[in-house]
Amino acid sequence: MNREAASLYYGWLPDLTLGEFLEQQSGAVARLPLVLVSSIDSNSAVSEMPWVRRHLDLDASWAISTDPLVISGERLLAAVQEDNILNGFDEIWVPENLPIAAPPVEANLVAPRMFDMTLPNEVRDWMQKSGWRLGLADGDGLNYVVSDLPLARQLDLPITDQERRGANLRVSKNG
């Protein structure tokens, strides 16, 4: 898929948190080689959080990168379960590959933003320039933006008109 010409699919799942979504889609999430954890409880200094330091103290290779924090999907799921880290206003991104830079503050996905009708220009611009595959965040429901259609399918994200009607969710396509 050509990233420059790729369509962006986005939506808001009003009855889900990031933690619930990760649990429901744990099989697909566990296979993700790279997940950037950009915000936990609205705090972007994720690498300095006690749960991250604890994992790094036990295994220095636990993180692929600490600036920004990038770990595997499998390790994210284990940390979510072991450390109970997702309590709202959390944000993760799935990059195409390394090296990566954290998204700019203006491209945040957490509430009060709701991707029910439109995708903020800052998020659209970031996704188109950076080649990110997926972004997920919560706070008031779950916002998502995805450029990788096969990944969206693996994660059961509703992106077509029929899926929107079936899920009775407000989801949009911008391309």
Residue 30 has pLDDT above 70, yes or no: yes
Contact between residue 51 and residue 85 where contact means Cβ atoms under 8 Å apart: yes
User: Could you tell me the two tokens for 102?
Assistant: 């954290």
Host domain of residue 120 = 8-170
User: What integer pLDDT is reported at residue 114 of this predicted model?
Assistant: 87
Q: Rounded distance, CA 151 to CA 133, Å?
A: 8
- In tens, the pLDDT along 120-149 reads 999 999 898 888 999 999 999 999 999 999
User: Could you tell me the two tokens for 85?
Assistant: 């880290």
Global pTM reads: 0.88
Half-sphere exposure of 165 (CA within 13 A, CB side): 2
Half-sphere exposure of 47 (CA within 13 A, CB side): 13
46 domain residue, yes or no: yes
139 domain residue, yes or no: yes
Which parts of the chain fold into alpha helices (H)?
18-24, 26-30, 50-58, 73-83, 121-130, 149-154, 161-167
Number of domains within the chain = 1
